[in-house]
């Protein structure tokens, strides 16, 4: 395995450790450097086994305030010690200078790191990274500065993680024996934008943006997303824009927050859902009318062809059959991925256990799958029909009838997208898009083949033009290493 791949894998493994402590507002005097953490860990490890030898160290993300690594110090660290020649190891966690985790176990050991070879501390490499590259603290994920120490290809490698000058995720690695910088890489975006396909010709606009949604009316097109996305956020510079002429010109619409969903009703009125609100009647001249405001984040939105609306937030479903004039509430029986609402106002949910329930007067009733071994991938409700995506077919049921029909689909299809009376199927990462005929329930038709390196968020069709909302992907690229 290459050096860069090893560093990447090790960082991901350790950064996802759950927070060992998670409270706010603690003063930063409980923070320590990497070497200070090692000294505390070594004392405990030697009590466990006098031959204990260090093999790995990393800082851990937390929400405890403090400097978040600004001076090379963090509140929380984890490390692993081994007993050379055996499969004995111990995981030690430190929070505010105290041992909070001590878990001996057995596994194939990683290479040892000799204490005398650690001639640089986290504070040293941070200053070097700032001086050479102007490294900034991370945001959105891996907040602040983070540090890992590993034996990679026989070298003790201390790595500092942060953001570069363009807010791109960056890691810079040093050999702790001699202080040489051995790697400096950052994640660069490629792709992204609004793709249109017309008469066999592809056209990409809004290049580099994260287009997270697109919806087409009879003669209007609306897109939304982030103009300046990062790898871990598409809400940095949110926007929503309207085109009356098939994407030739655009006008920005006003929204209180980043947009999560948008759709046109049968009267060509635009509805928009933001983080905690739903608005109706947005145009280029007016902001529209707020029809729902919640205290918690909106997790999922659905609408029927006759514009019944269902909104999932904080374990409750808010639903209306009066276009938002009045709302009812339903309690979700268990954690769910999505809610759907039919033209008749029926509520259907897709749970995290990949089960489907229909709400009746008696409560939530589970819908039995046509084959007991089938595991649903996704589901949608259209025209009072339930569409359930399985591994290589879509099962269809007229609500509340229990008779099933099916459409054969590509077995790699993982997601369904509903746009009014149109239904699309998406392969993994949007490698291909299929149009599914919901009226005669015929076999799906491939309408877009993306190939590699495209991340599809959304899709719609207006006339004979297919619109595909895509976001950038990210790959590690070298940064020039300055000469001494």
The pLDDT value recorded for residue 24 is 36
Q: Which of 332, 331, 336, 328 has the alpha carbon at shortest distance from 353?
A: 336
Q: How many residues does the chain have?
A: 484
Q: Looking at the chain, which residues constitute the CATH 2.130.10.10 domain(s)?
A: 189-476
* pLDDT (mean) for 273-285: 94
* Residue 459, token pair as written in the block: 């899709």
More confident call, 452 vs 227: 227
Three-state SS at 133: helix
The pLDDT value recorded for residue 482 is 65
Query: How does residue 391 score in pLDDT terms, banded at 50, 70 and 90?
Result: confident
Residues 6+ apart with CB under 8 A from 100: 20, 21, 93, 94
Neighbour order of strands in the sheet with 413-419: 413-419, 422-427, 432-436, 445-449
Query: How does residue 8 score in pLDDT terms, banded at 50, 70 and 90?
Result: very low
Q: How many CA atoms are closer than 13 Å to the CA of 437, on its beta-carbon side?
A: 9
Q: Of 175-179, 359-363, 449-453, where does mean pLDDT reach its minimum?
A: 449-453
**H or E segment at 5?**
helix 3-15
- pLDDT by residue (tens digit) across 72-97? 999 999 999 999 999 999 999 999 99
pLDDT of residue 291 exceeding 60, the answer is: yes
Q: Which of 31, 23, 100, 20 has the alpha carbon at shortest distance from 63?
A: 23
- pLDDT by residue (tens digit) across 134-143? 999 998 778 8
pLDDT of residue 480 exceeding 90, the answer is: no
The pLDDT value recorded for residue 442 is 76
Distances in whole angstroms, Cα of residue 343 to Cα of each of 115, 346, 384, 396: 68, 7, 6, 16
Residues pairing with 78 in the sheet: 58, 93
Measured between alpha carbons, how far is 444 from 411 in angstroms, rounded to an integer? 12
The pLDDT value recorded for residue 483 is 61
Q: What is the mean pLDDT of the chain?
A: 88
pLDDT of residue 27 exceeding 70, the answer is: no
| DSSP conformation letters of 363-384 | EEEEPPPSSTT---SEEEEETT
The pLDDT value recorded for residue 13 is 41
Query: Percent of the chain scored above 90 by pLDDT?
Result: 67
Query: Percent of the chain scored above 70 by pLDDT?
Result: 92
pLDDT of residue 68 exceeding 70, the answer is: yes
Positive/negative CA dihedral, 254, 260, 263, 269: negative
Measured between alpha carbons, how far is 271 from 88 in angstroms, rounded to an integer? 60
Distances in whole angstroms, Cα of residue 264 to Cα of each of 99, 182, 283, 468: 57, 54, 11, 17
Three-state SS at 320: strand
Positive/negative CA dihedral, 84, 88, 89, 90: negative
Three-state SS at 105: strand
pLDDT of residue 287 exceeding 90, the answer is: no
The pLDDT value recorded for residue 152 is 93
* pLDDT (mean) for 199-223: 92
Phi, psi of 481 (to 5 degrees): -90, 115
Residues 6+ apart with CB under 8 A from 314: 294, 295, 296, 297, 299
The pLDDT value recorded for residue 22 is 37
Measured between alpha carbons, how far is 58 from 454 in angstroms, rounded to an integer? 33
How far from each other are the two terminal CA atoms of the chain, in whole angstroms? 28
pLDDT of residue 397 exceeding 70, the answer is: yes
CA dihedral 10, 13, 15, 21 (to 10 degrees): -130
Pairing of strands 277-280, 270-273: antiparallel
The CATH H-level superfamily of 189-476 is YVTN repeat-like/Quinoprotein amine dehydrogenase (2.130.10.10)
The pLDDT value recorded for residue 19 is 37
- pLDDT by residue (tens digit) across 147-204? 999 999 999 999 999 999 888 899 999 999 999 999 999 998 888 999 999 888 889 9
The vertex-52 CA angle with 48 and 58, nearest 5°, equals 100
Distances in whole angstroms, Cα of residue 303 to Cα of each of 63, 208, 251, 271: 37, 30, 25, 10
The pLDDT value recorded for residue 144 is 93
Measured between alpha carbons, how far is 130 from 147 in angstroms, rounded to an integer? 14
pLDDT of residue 118 exceeding 50, the answer is: yes
The pLDDT value recorded for residue 484 is 53
Phi, psi of 15 (to 5 degrees): -70, -20
């Amino acid at each position: 395995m290459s050096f860069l791949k090893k560093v990447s894998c090790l960082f991901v493994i350790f950064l996802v450790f759950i927070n060992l402590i998670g409270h706010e507002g603690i003063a930063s005097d409980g923070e320590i450097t990497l070497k200070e953490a090692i000294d505390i860990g070594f004392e405990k490890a030697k009590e466990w086994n006098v031959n204990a030898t260090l093999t790995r160290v990393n800082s851990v993300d937390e929400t405890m305030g403090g400097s978040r690594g600004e001076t090379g110090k963090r509140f929380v660290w984890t490390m692993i010690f081994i007993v050379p020649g055996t499969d004995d190891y111990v995981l030690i966690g430190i929070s505010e200078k105290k041992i909070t985790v001590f878990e001996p176990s057995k596994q194939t050991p990683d290479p040892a790191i000799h204490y005398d070879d650690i001639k640089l501390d986290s504070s040293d490499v941070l200053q070097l990274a700032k001086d050479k590259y102007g490294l900034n603290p991370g945001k959105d994920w891996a907040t602040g500065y983070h540090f890992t120490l590993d034996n990679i290809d026989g070298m003790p490698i201390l790595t500092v993680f942060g953001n570069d000058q363009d807010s791109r995720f960056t890691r810079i690695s040093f050999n702790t024996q001699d202080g040489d910088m051995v790697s400096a890489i950052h994640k660069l975006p490629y792709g992204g934008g609004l793709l249109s396909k017309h008469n066999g010709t592809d056209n990409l606009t809004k290049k580099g943006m994260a287009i997270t949604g697109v919806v087409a009316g009879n003669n209007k097109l609306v897109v939304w997303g982030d103009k300046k996305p990062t790898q871990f956020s598409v809400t940095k510079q949110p926007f929503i824009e309207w085109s009356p002429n098939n994407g030739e010109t655009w006008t920005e619409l006003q929204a209180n927050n980043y947009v999560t969903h948008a759709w046109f009703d049968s009267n060509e009125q635009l509805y928009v859902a933001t983080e905690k609100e739903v608005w109706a009647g947005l145009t280029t001249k007016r902001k529209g009318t707020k029809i729902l405001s919640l205290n918690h984040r909106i997790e999922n939105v659905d609408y029927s062809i006759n514009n019944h609306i269902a909104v999932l937030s904080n374990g409750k479903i808010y639903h209306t059959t009066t276009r938002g004039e009045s709302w009812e509430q339903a309690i979700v029986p268990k954690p769910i991925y999505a809610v759907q609402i039919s033209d008749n106002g029926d509520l259907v949910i897709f749970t995290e256990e990949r089960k489907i329930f229909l709400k009746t007067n008696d409560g939530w009733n589970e819908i039995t799958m046509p084959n007991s071994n089938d595991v649903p991938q996704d589901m949608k409700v259209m025209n009072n029909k339930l569409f359930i995506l399985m591994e290589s077919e879509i099962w269809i049921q007229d609500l509340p009838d229990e008779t099933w029909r099916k459409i054969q689909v590509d077995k790699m299809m993982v997601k369904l997208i509903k746009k009014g009376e149109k239904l699309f199927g998406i392969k993994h990462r949007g490698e291909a898009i299929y149009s599914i005929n919901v009226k005669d329930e015929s076999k799906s038709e491939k309408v877009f083949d993306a190939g590699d390196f495209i991340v599809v968020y959304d899709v719609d069709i207006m006339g004979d033009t297919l619109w595909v909302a895509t976001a950038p992907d990210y790959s590690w690229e070298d940064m020039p290493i300055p000469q001494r």
